[in-house]
Amino acid sequence: MGCLKKLVLASFVTAALVCGALLLLWIWLGVEIIPNQVRDPRTLQDRSFDYIIVGAGTAGCVLANRLSENPNVTVLLVEAGDTFGSASIIPLISTAMQGTKYDWAFRTTPQKYSSHGLGNNQQLLPRGKGLGGSGQINYMLHFTGIPEDFDRWERLGARDWNWRGMKPYLDKLNHPAAAGDQDGDDDVLQDCKQEELTGEELYENYFDHLNLPLFVSINATASVTMDKVLSVDSIRQYLQHGRGVLSTTAIAGIGSPRGGRYGIILFGMGSVDEQALRHVSNMEEDTFRAFFPSYQNTSQEGFLFLSTCHQPASRGGIFLRDRHIDSVPFFNPNYLKDRSDIGCMIQAIRLAARTVRTDAFRSIGAHLHWPHIKRCSNFGPPVNNSAEQPSDRYLECILRTSALTGHHPGGTAAIGLHSEAVVDNQLRVNGVHGLRVVDASVFPAPVSGTPNSVLIAVAEKASDLILQNSN
């Protein structure tokens, strides 16, 4: 028995040493190796470069990597931010970097048609500030779009950016799984490995997705709770194997396999941290507590359904505040300005309600919580039974009160042939020699999901266009 105790103790000590060594290696890489690759831009003042890329975000890193494959070409990648910390590679907690020095921390202007339950009617617009950009502070969801998304781009004037033109670049991101035609899960997306350095309307085609969170309680032990997240075992699983609750954020969306107009995403978070979530959502206290009734219960089992409209019709714009380079522009997405978005979102909400009533969800005691919003009481009280349905007018009210940005802005420098288009089909800025735009602002319309992987494909295609032009 004594030998067994020693063996068990030795196993625990070994595991602790392994975890400790991994953690120290992680910290050393973040503190010593990566920063040493960043050059002081003052040392390069007298040098010239073939290409200068402003912004080391998702697209900037891909461009720098591809353009510098030719050893005879010089590329300067300029980034205002720093290298990201280790939290950026842990899916469940990467969003904790929002609101920190790694975030530009933009806000919308006070919204007229939405966000009435948020502080000053404003949505927070986190944008990554550092090497990797917003791809370092998102939920790390991989989605490569559907054919209809890109064929819509072509109809809007983006010639050669249709599904046929984009598919080769999207295929580079995937190693398809054996079954089905959906994205596989065995891909490895390459990081940027280069040597990095650290009033007036622009275009009224600003679009973004909105999500309405609805809490569903369950009786089964199946979700991510705060107690599980903070457990020693969850940290050990992630450090040793890259698995466990820290490696997850959400599961695949529910909706039409061809995309459709709307859909829902199941987000596996049972209990939530009020201070943390309000910090990243800007929800007022009464709004937050209406949507998350178990906010004080750190072991609550459940999940969120995020209802969304894939192709919102509302459009806004970005406006210059003044002529000073450091001034933050005005961001006005005009969420829910177009009433068709309300109808689309309501259909998504009702899809979530129908899903909860299926046998599979009933078997785990799923119960959808309809939020009690005071400002919406004039449109009828919310139902207490999840099998019943609130009125469309009530759902519209909670949408205009509490729907949150999906963090997928774009469209303000859209590709096109019309007179208002900012860039042509080669991504060259109209009327300016030697300048191209390669980021989500060139999307003529949203993609029906998260855009980061699509942006990588756009940057891959942009690299080919640039290299073909240089030849």
Residues 407, 408, 418, 433: which is the catalytic one? 408
Alpha carbon dihedral 155, 156, 160, 166, in 10-degree steps, equals -90
Partners of residue 240 on adjacent β-strands: none
- In three-state secondary structure terms, 178 is coil
DSSP single-letter state for residue 373:
-
Decide if 241 is catalytic: no
- Residues 125, 99: contact at Cβ < 8 Å? no
Using an 8 Å Cβ cutoff, are 365 and 357 in contact? no
Q: How far is CA 309 from the centre of its chain?
A: 15
Residue pair 294/215 in contact by the 8 Å Cβ criterion = yes
* Alpha carbons 179 and 255: distance in angstroms, whole number: 19
What is the signed CA dihedral for 31, 33, 34, 35, rounded to 10 degrees?
Answer: 60
Q: Judge whether 118 and 283 are in contact, CB under 8 Å.
A: yes
Q: Measured in Å, how far apart are the chain's first and last C-alpha atoms?
A: 75
Catalytic residues: 408
